[in-house]
Structures are given as C-alpha cells and as structure tokens.
Amino acid sequence: MKKIPVFQGACTAIVTPFREQGLDYARLEKNLEAQYEGDTAAILVCGTTGENATLSQDEHNELVRCTVNACRGKMKVIVGIGGNNTAAALKKAENAAAVGADALLMVTPYYNKTSQKGLIEHFLYVADRVELPLILYNVPSRTGIGIAAETYKALSEHPNINGVKEASGDFSLIARTRALCGEGLIQWSGNDDNTVPMMALGAQGVISVAGNIVPGVVSKLCSLCLSNDFAGATELYCKYAALFSALFIETNPMPVKAAMQLLEQDSGLLRLPLTQISEEHLGALRKTMHEVGLL
C-alpha cells in the first residue's frame, strides 16, 4: 500500500523556550517565523529537542495550540506524543487532533522496556483511536529498545501509520525495512549526519536538530537529494558535517540551545535535569561555528 508522506524535505525539531516561570510563547512564534523564512517544510513540536519529558500536560497542550496557530498555512505541524505511558500518549494525540495538528510522532517506550509484540500494541493503541497520521520514532541510543524490520512491516499495514523517524544509524536495518515495507512505510532521517545516505535509500527528508540554527542549509540539503543531485548534496553536507557533529557534543538539546545563544537567537532556558554544556565544549562548539562561517 503506497502512502503519501506527511512532508518532504526538512522538518525542524523545534526547541522550547523555557523561562523561570513557564514558557515564552511569543519567542516560540518568532522562532517559528524564522523557520518559515528558511524554507522549512514542517515543524516537530514537543519532541526530544523540545524537552518533551519535562512538560506538564497543560504546557504540552498550549505549545501545540500555539505552534498550530503560528504555522497554519505555512508549515506542517507534527506533535511529539511519545513516552512510556501508552494511555497518556493517546491523550496528547487527542489534543493534537482537536487543535488541528497535521501528524503525530511517537517514540518507542523507554525504561519499562517492552518486547516487539509490546511495541506493536503500543503504537496500534494510538493509531486505532486517532485518525491523524502517525510517525514512529526509533532512537534506541536514548530509549534502550529498537524497532525490528519485521515489526515495521507489521505496523506498516495500518492505514494511519505513515512512516518512521529513523535515528538508529543502522543502515542494515534501514535497507531491510525499505525492502520489506517498500512505499508502505515512509522513512525520514532522524539524524542530520544520516540525511544524505538515507535519502539515497529513498527517505523523504530529515527531522532535524541543526534546522534550529541553519534551516536554509537543511532545507537545501534535502532539496538537492529530492532532485537526485547527490553530488551537490554531498558537497553541501561536507561543508557542515563538523557542525552536525558538534551539535551532539553533549546531550541534545543542550548544544543546539547554546549554539542559538551564540547566534544571539533566544533559545530560552534548559530544564533540569539538562544543564548548560561545559565551557570546554562551548569553546569547541564556538570554534566549529566559526569555521563553517556562522560566527
């Protein structure tokens, strides 16, 4: 069953501008406008980069509402609903649908580590109850559990499951999933440094961290790949490869929020347990940004 991708090209996993008391929604709207000006196709709100795990339900709801209103008619809005509580994920999904979001992103459950059968039931529980397209999220380095190719095949048969944000970095898995699922499961890169090779294997774009600071670059990279200009895409990637790596010098989103501050872009505070990156790593990040011409 061929499926139409929720988006093609660049989707930025947007940071959340926290303040000492609550969230800065006005700043969020300014950051979203900058994304639109950078030709970003879609926004992921309340993802890992948005520090989803530290949001209250009310904050999550308001972030989604604000993002949908700011992006309406400009960019698609994908809402991170994942966690290790399936019923709570459904509540977030229902709210996202009610305010007009375009799609959902649901990560594998972490800590209460389940089986592949449990993963299938976890994702289907939401997909059966909400009509929005659901994008799976595979990031075993953070969750401790990965999705097997055969599990992807089973999930791809559900009409509401559109695809996967694949951040495993496992190209054998990516290729086998493509072979098993074909156009029944869309793939997007979940890592900026995997975008070009994944798109060469048929991925439709990237859900990006780097897009917070270089949205135009990430959009152009995807555009080149979608045009089958992989030579041009490789050249552009090589120019920014060190930056893509530096943005993970410590746990995401700590480095990208620091990078935004270096660019005098207001990224807001981090919420504990995340903290500012070390002075050593800040210096290395600044050096890399200078080398690629951002500073």
> pLDDT tens per residue, the chain (295 residues)?
789 999 999 999 999 999 998 999 999 999 999 999 999 999 999 999 999 999 999 999 999 999 999 999 999 999 999 889 999 999 999 999 999 999 999 999 999 889 999 999 999 999 999 999 999 999 999 999 999 999 999 999 999 999 999 999 999 999 999 999 999 999 999 999 999 999 999 999 999 999 999 999 999 999 999 999 999 999 999 999 999 999 999 999 999 999 999 999 999 999 999 999 999 999 999 999 999 999 9
CA angle 125, 103, 22 (to 5 degrees): 95
What pLDDT is recorded for position 1? 72
Asked if residue 60 is part of any domain, the answer here is: yes
Q: Does some domain include residue 190?
A: yes
Catalytic residue among 76, 92, 152, 165: 165
Q: Give CA–CA dist 145/148, Å, rounded.
A: 10
Number of domains present in the structure of the chain: 1
4 within domain boundaries: no
- Whether pTM > 0.85 for this model: the answer is yes
Q: Which of 76, 137, 152, 257 is catalytic?
A: 137
- What CA–CA distances, in Å, run from 179 to 174, 176, 183, 200? 9, 5, 9, 14
**Is 111 labeled as catalytic in the residue annotation?**
no
Q: Which domain holds residue 212?
A: 9-229
Is residue 62 in some structural domain? yes
Report if residue 239 sits inside a domain: no
- 269 assigned to some structural domain: no
Residue 126: CATH number of its domain: 3.20.20.70
Contact partners, residue 135, CB within 8 Å, separation at least 6: 6, 78, 103, 104, 105, 106, 162, 163, 164, 165, 188
In a domain, 253, yes or no: no
Indicate if 137 belongs to the active site.
yes
* Cα gap 124→127, rounded to integer Å: 5
Pair of tokens at residue 66: 């604000």
Asked if residues 97 and 131 have their Cβ atoms less than 8 Å apart, the reply is yes
pLDDT for 176 = 97
**Measured between alpha carbons, how far is 62 from 45 in angstroms, rounded to an integer?**
11
Helices (H) and strands (E) in the chain — how many of each?
12, 8
Within-domain flag for 271: no
45 backbone dihedrals φ, ψ, rounded to 5°: -110, 145
